[in-house]
Amino acid sequence: MSDQQNGAVVGSKSFTAVAINCAAKAGEWIKTKLGNYENLDLKYSSHDLVTEVDKGSETLIKRLIQTHFPHHSFLGEEGVEPGPEASARALEAKLEDEYLWIVDPIDGTTNFVHGFPFFVVSIALAYRGEVIVGVVYDPMKDELFLAEKGKGAYVHGKRMSVSAESALKSSLVATGFPADHHYALPLNMKGLQAIAPQVRNIRSSGSAALHMAYVAAGRLSGFWEIGLNSWDLAAGALLIQESGGKVSDTLGKPYHLGVRNVVASNGQIHEELVGALALADAAQ
Ligand code: IPD
Ligand code: CA
Ligand code: CA
């Protein structure tokens, strides 16, 4: 039975209100734990970190969502076995569900652990596989990026739009250094080698979701990375689409929840960025 039918939901606004509330509450709590976490564990590799704060944030968000929407599905990073195959399987199992919340309780855990103030809570709600609400919250700057499908994207109430650069040579582009050192990192390094001389400059600050939000806000012209998960990208993808930008896989095919190798941009530089990665044999 849908939530519309069982009367649990008044309208899409309540989805958004819950998403904002979850992100704000989790973000505030994470901030109190900065420099203050107790357990640091390794996941998929020695570069893939998790703390009790990641797990606590996910529990807090999951409980809040389940209180409001007990029939909705939930996919959170910390509830999934580490590694790309397990992540893909976990998404696949829930992709057809009517309402699916997709949560990264801390995107930028390495930054959180080192006290580098660039990490966020990322929360998306998908309806039958399509993202309809996306929230990325940066507790250190108290910046909340919000998008609703068809209704635009906002940062603290101000409508966002992507930047105006029309060529790589005038673009500021971000990427990441993935934790998977077998497949994703070498491929991304190949891309970095090719893209760096072609753009104004490169940034890599350690949170894919916040890089995506910055593309939406026009602070970055574009972003690409190999080997990400649905929870890194779902909220940020809607932010960019609703800000007039473009999101695809690294081959240029349209974004969907299963995309792991992403190119996100202001739209104008998209083809050039996808083309440059292809030419460098760094797309997949
Ligand atoms: C990571 C961050 C990082 C990216 C990694 C992600 P996590 O997420 O988004 O920027 O380079 O590939 O796994 O582990 O901090 O949630
Ligand atoms: Ca992440
Ligand atoms: Ca995470």
Residues 6+ apart with CB under 8 A from 213: 120, 136, 138, 145, 155, 236, 239
* pTM, to two decimals: 0.95
User: Which residues face 254 on adjacent strands?
Assistant: 248
DSSP summary character for residue 197? G
Residues with a beta carbon under 5 angstroms from ion ligand 2:
104, 107, 232
pLDDT at 48: 82
Residue position matching structure tokens 């500021």: 172
| Ligand 1 centroid from CA 164, angstroms | 27
Which of 45, 80, 120, 207 to probe ligand 1 with, by most ligand atoms within 8 A of CB?
207
Residue 94 pLDDT: 97
Q: What is the pLDDT of residue 156?
A: 87
Closest CA to 87 of 204, 259, 243, 237: 259
Domains and CATH numbers, the chain: 3-159 (3.30.540.10), 168-279 (3.40.190.80)
What is the full per-residue pLDDT of the chain (284 aa) written as tens digits?
Answer: 444 444 344 444 499 999 999 999 999 999 999 988 989 989 877 788 899 999 999 999 999 999 999 999 999 999 999 888 999 999 999 999 999 999 999 999 999 999 999 999 999 999 999 999 999 999 999 999 999 999 999 998 999 999 999 999 999 999 999 988 889 999 999 999 999 999 999 999 999 999 999 999 999 999 999 999 999 999 999 999 999 999 999 999 999 999 999 999 999 999 999 999 999 999 99
Quick one: which of 166, 165, 172, 162 has its CA closest to 202? 172
- DSSP designation for 254: B
Choose among 120, 118, 136, 146: nearest CA to 54: 120
Helix (H, G, I), strand (E, B) or coil at 163: coil
pLDDT at residue 12 in the model: 46
| pLDDT at site 49 | 87
224, 263 in Cβ contact below 8 A? yes
Q: Which residues line ligand 1 (CB under 6 A)?
A: 104, 107-109, 176-179, 206-208, 225, 228, 232
